[in-house]
Amino acid sequence: MIEWRIKGRELANCNCDYGCPCQFNALPTHGNCEAVVGIQIDEGHFGDVKLDGLRVASVYYWPGPVHEGDGKMQLIIDESASDDQRDALIKIMSGEETEPMKTMWSVYTTMCSTQLEPLSKTIDLEIDVENRVGRIVVPDVFETTAEPIRNPVTGNIHRARIDMPEGFEYEIAEIGSASTKTTGEIKISFEKSYGQFAEIHLTNKGVVRKAA
């Protein structure tokens, strides 16, 4: 197995209510799962292939809960990536060279029976994890905007986090409010739903824990 590592920041938006029941082993808010993800790789490698500074994104759709499968996925790779970097990122995001079910990519790929051809695109990405502000723009594929959750009475910013000591994606995620509209092959649209901001540190063996 080729050793790989990715350290960076993630912004994700799904169609569930704030909190996302999936994070608590419960069924999705609306019965199905629709999501987009954008990741800024600050440091990374796949064997000898450096991945520093690259970006990736993805779009997912499942007709029911993720664990029931029959999903559809679309991977998007930073168009500035070299051929070797592109191949490496596709392998990582397809769950290859990874211990089974140890990363979200391994889980999602296993649960997607339809895997569309990966795209090479410009990925306009802004992620401020601490302040829960961000955006993802992939031309002709999707656009996401995210902001803090606000108190419905006072309008004041509300902060909430999810701590996952044994999760396969992050240790702690800041939760915000996000909206997405896709224009690519997978058609999804939602407003003011679950927005997830997280610092991620992953290897082919899963999440790197700060306490480790």
**What pLDDT, in 10s, does the model give residues 118-162?**
999 999 999 999 999 999 999 999 999 999 999 999 999 999 999
Q: What's the pLDDT band for 210 if we cut at 50, 70, 90?
A: confident
Confirm if 23 and 55 have CB atoms less than 8 A apart.
no
Q: What is the pLDDT of residue 175?
A: 98
Beta-carbon-side half-sphere exposure of residue 87 (alpha carbons within 13 Å): 7
CB 151 within 8 A of CB 140: no
Q: Are 10 and 198 in contact (CB under 8 A)?
A: yes
- Torsional class of 88: left (φ above 0), alpha (ψ -120 to 50), beta (otherwise): alpha
pLDDT at 211: 54
Tell me the β-bridge partners of 6: 44, 202
User: Which among 172, 171, 189 has a CA at the least distance from the CA of 180?
Assistant: 189
Nearest to 40 by CA among 56, 64, 59: 56
Separation of alpha carbons 128 and 131, rounded Å: 6
Closest listed residue to residue 75, CA positions, set 135, 138, 29, 127: 138
Q: Hey, what are 76's tokens?
A: 């998007």
Q: What is the pLDDT of residues 71-109, one digit of tens each?
A: 999 999 999 999 999 999 999 999 999 999 999 999 999
Q: Which residue matches tokens 């995001």?
A: 93
